Amino acid sequence: MEKDIDTQVNISDSGSGSGASAHGVSAQYGFVGSGHGLSGSTLKLFACITMLIDHTGAAVVSTLISVSRLRITDPDSYAKLQQLYQWMRGIGRLAFPVFCFLLVEGFFHTRNIRKYCRRLFLFALISELPFDYALKASVPFWHKQNVYWTLLISLICIALLDRLRGIPWVQFIAVAASMSLANAMMTDYNFKGVFLIVMLYLFHDYRLYQCVAGAAAISWERWAPLSYILCFLYNGKRGLKLRYFFYVFYPGHLMLLGIIRHMILAAH
C-alpha cells in the first residue's frame, strides 16, 4: 500500500513543504495554501490505519472464521464474526486511493525520480515474503504480488508520460504497456491500480477534477471513492516527519499479522 522527499508525505517522495501560495480554498487548488485541511502525514497515517484494519481482517479474522466451530455451535456469533470481517475489509478499501494520491504528489515534488524508483523496487522485494506469509496460501505465492509493484510500475508510467509530453500516441502505448505489465505480474490492484494513478496524474493541476477522476477510477471498489474527500482536504504540508514510516510499516505489519495467523492455524 506508501511520499518521502525530504519535505513531505507518503509512499513517495513528495513534499511541498509549507504549501503553495497563500490562496484560499478553491476548486483548482483545494486546501493547498489555505492554512487549513489535512497534512501529508495525516493522510499517510489514515491510510496506514485503514490498511492495518483491512489486513487484520484478511489475515486474522478470516483465519478465525475458517477454523471456527461457531458455525455449528453458535450460529449468531459466527454471523457476527463474518460481519466483522466484511466491515474490516470495507474500511480497508479507503487506504489504496490515498496511497495513490500521495504517490502522484510525491512524483511532482521528488528531487530524484530514479532514487525514488529504486526505493520502491527494494521494498517491493522486501515485502513479497511478508505479503505471502500473511495473506496467501503458501510462501512463496506466485499468483499475486504486493502493492509496491503496482506503485513502482505506475511511477515509471507517469514518469514516461511526463517525458513524452506532446507525443500522445507514444504516451498511450506507455500506459497500455504499464497496465499490461501489472496485469501480467498479477500485482495487487493490477492494471486498475495503474489506471487510477494515471488519472490522478493527468488531472493533477486541478484538485477537484483530480479527486472526481480518482473517485470514478476506483468506483468499482466499494467505499474507496470516499477517500477522495480527504484527498481534497490535503493542504500541501508535510506534517510529521514520517519519511520512511510506510516503507517499514508495510512489510512489518504484514509479518506480524502472518505470525498471528500461523499461530491460530497451529492451535487448530
pLDDT above 80: residue 5: no
Look at residue 44 in the predicted model and tell me its pLDDT: 95
As a whole number of angstroms, the distance between CA 122 and CA 99 comes to: 18
Count the alpha carbons within 13 Å of 128 in the hemisphere toward its beta carbon: 17
Residues linked to residue 145 through DSSP beta bridges, in sequence order = 187
As a whole number of angstroms, the distance between CA 154 and CA 182 comes to: 9
Give domain status of residue 109, yes or no: yes
In tens, the pLDDT along 186-224 reads 999 999 999 999 999 999 999 999 999 999 999 999 899
Residue 14 binned pLDDT confidence (cut-offs 50, 70, 90): very low
pLDDT above 90: residue 34: no
Give domain status of residue 250, yes or no: yes
Give domain status of residue 12, yes or no: no
Look at residue 238 in the predicted model and tell me its pLDDT: 86
Give domain status of residue 246, yes or no: yes
In tens, the pLDDT along 225-259 reads 999 999 999 999 988 887 788 899 999 999 999 99
In tens, the pLDDT along 78-108 reads 899 999 999 999 999 999 999 999 999 999 9
pLDDT above 80: residue 70: no
Cβ atoms of 134 and 260 within 8 Å: the answer is no
Domain count, the chain: 1
Cβ atoms of 19 and 28 within 8 Å: the answer is no
Cell numbers found for residue 120: 520502491
Look at residue 21 in the predicted model and tell me its pLDDT: 46
The mean pLDDT value of the chain amounts to: 89
DSSP code per residue over 106-120: HHHH-S-HHHHHHHH
Give domain status of residue 21, yes or no: no
In tens, the pLDDT along 255-265 reads 999 999 999 99
Cβ atoms of 23 and 60 within 8 Å: the answer is no
pLDDT above 90: residue 56: yes
Domain containing 181: what range? 40-267
DSSP code per residue over 208-220: HHHHHHHHHHTTT
Entry pTM: 0.89
pLDDT above 70: residue 18: no
Give domain status of residue 23, yes or no: no
Residue located via cell numbers 493490477: 190
Residue 6 binned pLDDT confidence (cut-offs 50, 70, 90): very low
Cβ atoms of 105 and 97 within 8 Å: the answer is no
Contacts 24+ apart (CB under 8 A), 162-170: 162/107, 162/201
Look at residue 245 in the predicted model and tell me its pLDDT: 87
Look at residue 23 in the predicted model and tell me its pLDDT: 56
Residue percentage of the chain with pLDDT more than 90: 75
Look at residue 25 in the predicted model and tell me its pLDDT: 86
Give domain status of residue 10, yes or no: no
